[in-house]
Amino acid sequence: MFVFKKDIPLQDLGDGVSRRVLAHDGSMMAVEVYFEEGAVGPMHNHVHEQLTYVLSGRFKFTIGEETHEVSAGDTLYKKPYIMHGCVCLEKGVLLDTFTPQRMDFL
């Protein structure tokens, strides 16, 4: 499967957050998430395993009981059902990979 960024619309989620769902199939999905400075990814959990790679910007992330500041090149792992969320400290983009894919994003 080939997915070209120019062919995928950016979805405005409101409050300074938008996303672009990239390649996906039954067992895996890649998603770019764009944050304006000060935007919040509220605390939540889900059944999916999730890897987050910080492409740009700076974020304060909470995963479970731990909170750390992360920036470009850092990677985060979120096991299923763990509470997690973030605050964007400097405008940036995250690359999220989910398994299985997030049907609620389609």
Secondary structure of residue 80 in the 3-state scheme = coil
What is the mean predicted confidence (pLDDT) over 2-29?
A: 95
Please indicate, yes or no, if residue 48 is contained in any of the structural domains: yes
Give the residue numbers spanning the domain of 98.
28-105
d(CA 71, CA 30): 19
pLDDT at 41: 98
pLDDT > 90? residue 26: no
Please indicate, yes or no, if residue 8 is contained in any of the structural domains: no
pLDDT > 90? residue 14: yes
Please indicate, yes or no, if residue 23 is contained in any of the structural domains: no
pLDDT in tens, 67-77: 999 999 999 99
What is the mean predicted confidence (pLDDT) over 54-77?
A: 98
Number of domains in the chain: 1
CATH number (domain holding residue 85): 2.60.120.10
d(CA 23, CA 41): 22
Please indicate, yes or no, if residue 79 is contained in any of the structural domains: yes
Please indicate, yes or no, if residue 14 is contained in any of the structural domains: no
